[in-house]
Chain A
Amino acid sequence: METFKNYDPEHYYDELINADGTPRPCAQLIVNKIESLPPGAFEMRQKAAESLLLKMGITFNVYGRDEGAEKIFPFDIIPRIVPGSDWQQIENGLKQRIFALNEFIQDIYNDKKILKDKIIPEDLIYSSRTYRKECEGFTPPRGIWCHVTGTDLVRDKDGRFYVLEDNLRCPSGVSYVLENRQVLKRTFPQVFKESLVRPVDDYTTKLLEMLEYLAPKNVQNPTIGVLTPGIYNSAYFEHSFLSQQMGVELVEGQDLVVSDGFVHMITTKGLKRVDVLYRRIDDDFLDPYVFRPDSMLGVKGIMEVYKAGRIAMANAPGTGIADDKVIYAYAPDIIKYYTGEDPILPNVPTYICRDDQQRAYVLSHLDELVVKAANESGGYGMLVGPHATAEERAAFAEKIKAEPRNYMAQPTISLSRVPTIVGDRIEGRHVDLRPYVLFGEDIYVQPGGLTRVALTKGSLVVNSSQGGGSKDTWVV
């Protein structure tokens, strides 16, 4: 195994290694450790970590029902390390951003001050696919809409963190953070201890406390459930894991029924009232009476119970309005409007295609830009201009012209890299960072988060559905 001797950060920002090839201070311990291992020991540790994940059953599903439906999320044992000073800025920035976005959602469905003050064009809201007119005039329990957020951050060449997108509906991946940590503690126990890595394990406790905080006020011991679409969903493992860790029920839509104005679980001993749901089903499928009538996953009538205050749901239906990738472009204005402060974490510069001038620029610079649809996730519906063929770009240009409202574009960010095991070498691979934020009695930012790594050389797409893997993230 060649270790860091010939490692070349090239012209990218490397999270562990300086431009001159020396380790950054935060990475000194781990680099020393890896260099000091006898030949073969490092590969053995990587294999041991993989077999541990397999045994623990840390899998995600890919489509198709037959054999091999479950796969292991690729995992690399070299951690991504974030120095405490960088982290402090991320934490402050996320708290500010989530607070402002929550104010924004509340305002959009109630007073609409931000529209009246013409900070955001009205038609942008009402034309968003994630705007829910059913939520007009509603205030959820404790005034909180976005209880669980996974914000995607990237670090550019300049070494600064930028917000790439906000995931305020059903962000997934936190179970990998918790499991990766278990594995890495065993892989590098000594370095882990000496590095004073901040713990991530209290996430499930914080999640449970947040859900309890939402329960209707007269309920003493609330019954809480995690609502899953079922075993064929790609994140089923996570749903099952979180319910097990919190000791709450894992329910599917077919387990729930509305009766006498409340939501109940169907149990072997009759109906049992449910007070809080952590739902991992999108708004569209939540209630066939209100949203998509063909949904088989939801609960008929749950929205009525919800609006009467008899059940709490995290995240609140309607939250997706702040998830729209075009509205994202206004996040700096939103932060300024509701907090009076400048954003601590900047957005990636964004061109909005509904604006004629900006669209013209996008169309003439497709080969340098990343174009995204407003409401797609998982790396679908996007064009990475520099890596696309001329035909792909031409086809995408037609889509933009046909539906300008639905697209935005950003310059291609040179995502930072982290040393990663590739065969018998260590090479740099691009990463992003998804910290998880819980909004309950106060705002909690889990120190660490999911580092996703694009395992293909040169690739900038880190999504698990597109060949990405993950790393443990150490905040030191």
Chain B
Amino acid sequence: MLSRVANSIYWMCRYIERAENVARFISVNLNLLLDQTLEKGKHWEPLVMITGDQEMFEKKYTSYDQETVIRFLTFDRDYPNSIITSLGAARENARSIREIISSEMWEHLNNFYLELAEPGSPGFALDEPHRFFKIIQMRSHLFTGLMDSTMSHGEAWNFARIGMMIERADKTSRILDVKYFMLLPQVDMVNTPIDNIQWMAVLKSASAFEMYRKEHHRITPRNVANFLIFDSQFPRSIRHCVSKSKICLHRITGSPPGSTRNPAEKRLGRLEADLEYSDIDEVIEYGMHEYLDNVQTRLNSVDEAIGVTFLNMKPQSDAMENEQ
């Protein structure tokens, strides 16, 4: 398959997953506000912190109020990680591979973007934010479902899954990173049950609350981190995402499990092994932030190795007209 096509499908899925995660963060924050005790004006700043794009925000805006943050994260076309920018990029990628993906996928994504781009959309998002961001998430799930059930699970599909899983692992690590420090009053309280709303919110933003309860019952910061990083079965845990993307990568190359043939397989394999052979106590000892930072760096290096090994990325060309 053409490298450009693989690149487009990989990024199409990364962008959709990115958009969905931004919607998740906003949704959970909105829920928190309903029973909030924090002092006014502090509810929305952490959301921009999760994205790591505070500098960009502060260049353009002065106040971290609900409306401004929602506009920035959802509708700001100058902000490269906003929902609308991500979906626009996903759609452009999809357009260039229309003959590869199913028409159901294309039509859904096309419509998803066009409706978000409608002039009435920001009004809807600000008036009924709960409903609005739920719809965004459900549309992303619908896309994933369509991809799963209307497209052959061949090379292109596997590249799509890798894109989605790497993006998801990155986003889970970011939410944990930011919240862990904000919410943990003292490091030695890591094992104490602090069954408060905030920790539940962390789990909820990864749709992990119910699944966590089945596994651990009481909420302790240690167990929350353990679940989101190491759980082997929860579909948004870092470990799960990494091992699923490794399976897809091996399907593409045909390398048997346990062997590696290229830098992408090596880096992803090492990351998976580390997640398999270390545990939460080691992470706490090493330092949560340092650990998650390292995970993010290594996910980036996997992305880079995939680029070099398969995707041969080059800058996009300009449109030229020569049709008669």
- A-side residues, CB < 8 A to B, are 57, 67, 150, 167, 169-172, 229-235, 240, 243-244, 249-255, 265-269, 280-282, 284-285, 295-297, 377-378
Contact = CB atoms under 8 A, between A and B. Distances in A.
Contacts of A377: 323-324
A229 B114 contact: no
B324 A172 contact: yes
Given A67-B117, A232-B319, A254 B314 contact: yes
16 contacts: A57-B98, A169-B324, A170-B322, A172-B323, A229-B320, A229-B322, A230-B316, A233-B323, A243-B99, A254-B314, A267-B1, A281-B322, A282-B322, A297-B320, A377-B323, A378-B323
Interface string B285-324: 0000000000000000000000000111010111111111
Interface in B50-97: 92, 95-96
Given A57-B103, A170-B324, A296 B2 contact: no
Given A244-B99, A297-B317, A266 B4 contact: yes
A268 B3 contact: yes
Contacts of B103: 57
A281 B318 CA distance: 13
A229 B319 contact: yes
B216 to A, nearest CB: 41
B45 interface: no
B: contact size bracket: 20 to 34
B155 A268 contact: yes
B252 interface: yes
Given A249-B2, A254-B314, A170 B320 contact: no
B99 A240 contact: yes
Contacts of B99: 240, 243-244, 250
A317 to B, nearest CB: 13
B2 A265 contact: yes
A57 B106 contact: yes
B134 to A, nearest CB: 24
Contacts of A253: 317
B4 A252 contact: yes
A72 to B, nearest CB: 14
Given A57-B103, A266-B312, A285 B320 contact: yes
Nearest to B93: A231
Contact of A378 (B316, B317, B318, B324): B324
Contacts of A281: 320, 322
A155 B58 CA distance: 65
B6 interface: yes
A234 B321 contact: yes
A297 B322 CA distance: 11
A174 to B, nearest CB: 12
Given A233-B320, A296-B317, A267 B117 contact: no
3 closest A-B pairs by beta carbon, nearest first, are A232-B319, A282-B322, A296-B317
A267 B321 contact: no
A268 B117 contact: no
A170 B95 CA distance: 22
A244 B312 CA distance: 24
Contact of B323 (A170, A230, A269): A170
Nearest to B318: A296
Contacts of A252: 4, 317
